[in-house]
């Protein structure tokens, strides 16, 4: 049976990836941080789902989970590793607590390194498996007040490219899937009070506009299963691209990524009141 490890599957993109892969007959080892989520997903997805309980920032727990998967595979290679687990830290960089920035990088970047080091040896078989890293359209285009998140995703893009070239030695491919807005519970967690620590800064009016824009954009975002289909393609197609962008507004996404940067600066600045 083909088997894939997916991190961060309790909700959102990870859940969508798990659903699509299981529907295609793939066994999924999915990471969650809470036993209650493991039980819920086991009931929802059935025998083809095996929960792994770990936080990507806990290196010992990650390696223990990799050993659990190795034993379950019983000599078979792992078909894929999907590095999806992540968080989004927002706020004006001049006022952001350094601890928050460190946490952003620890989860979204260092966590990917930890899981890759732990699970990649299980991919080295015949045929060799693939690694899919979940980046973002924000991995190529920075947004005001999303600097920590953008920094983690820009770095993930570079890490993925370097790793892809390193792992050619073993025939293991590394592919990036970059979603735009996805309709996930994360948008429901975005509350007006989240920006209150910055009320007394010059950025507060613009932060209010960004908060409203992101909440509306998330509600109209893609279904998680759409990202799941892109990941399934990246894992199984004979000649995959190195990067798949999946966004609900592809024209705007293309413009933001390809227009002259000063032009985009002016568009964003005027929209948010950051420039006259």
Domains belonging to the chain, first-starting first, are 3-272 (3.40.50.720)
Question: Residues with catalytic annotation?
Answer: 149
The stretches in the chain having pLDDT less than 70 are 185-193, 217-218
pLDDT tens digits for 87-141? 999 999 999 999 999 999 999 999 999 999 999 999 998 899 999 999 999 999 9
Chain mean pLDDT for the chain = 94
pLDDT at 186: 58
pLDDT at 193: 61
**What is the Cα gyration radius of the chain?**
19
- Provide long-range contacts, Cβ within 8 A and 24+ apart, for 195-200: 195/91, 197/91, 197/95, 198/91, 198/92, 198/95
């Amino acid at each position: 049976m083909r088997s894939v490890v997916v991190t961060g599957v309790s909700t959102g993109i990870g859940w969508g990836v798990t659903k699509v892969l299981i529907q295609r007959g793939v066994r999924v080892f999915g990471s969650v941080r809470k036993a209650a989520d493991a039980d819920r997903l086991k009931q929802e997805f059935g025998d083809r789902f095996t929960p792994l309980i770990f936080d990507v920032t806990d290196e010992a727990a990650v390696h223990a989970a990799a050993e659990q998967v190795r034993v379950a595979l019983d000599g078979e290679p792992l078909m894929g590793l999907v590095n999806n687990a992540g968080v989004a830290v927002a706020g004006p960089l001049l006022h952001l607590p350094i601890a928050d920035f460190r946490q952003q990088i620890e989860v979204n970047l260092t966590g990917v390194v930890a899981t890759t080091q732990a699970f990649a040896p299980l991919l080295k078989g015949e045929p060799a498996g693939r690694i899919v890293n979940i980046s973002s359209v924000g991995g190529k285009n920075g947004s005001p007040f999303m600097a920590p998140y953008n920094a983690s995703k820009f770095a993930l893009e570079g890490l993925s490219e370097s790793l892809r070239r390193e792992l050619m030695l073993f025939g293991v491919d590394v592919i990036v899937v970059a979603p735009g807005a996805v309709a996930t519970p994360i948008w429901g967690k975005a509350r007006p009070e989240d920006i209150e620590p910055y009320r007394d800064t010059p950025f507060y009016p613009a932060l209010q506009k960004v908060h409203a824009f992101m909440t509306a954009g998330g509600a109209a975002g893609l279904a998680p299963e759409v990202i799941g289909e892109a990941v399934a393609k990246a894992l199984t197609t004979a000649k995959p691209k190195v990067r798949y962008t999946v966004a609900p507004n592809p024209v705007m996404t293309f413009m933001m990524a390809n227009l002259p940067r000063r032009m985009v600066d002016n568009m964003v600045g005027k929209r948010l009141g950051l420039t006259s």
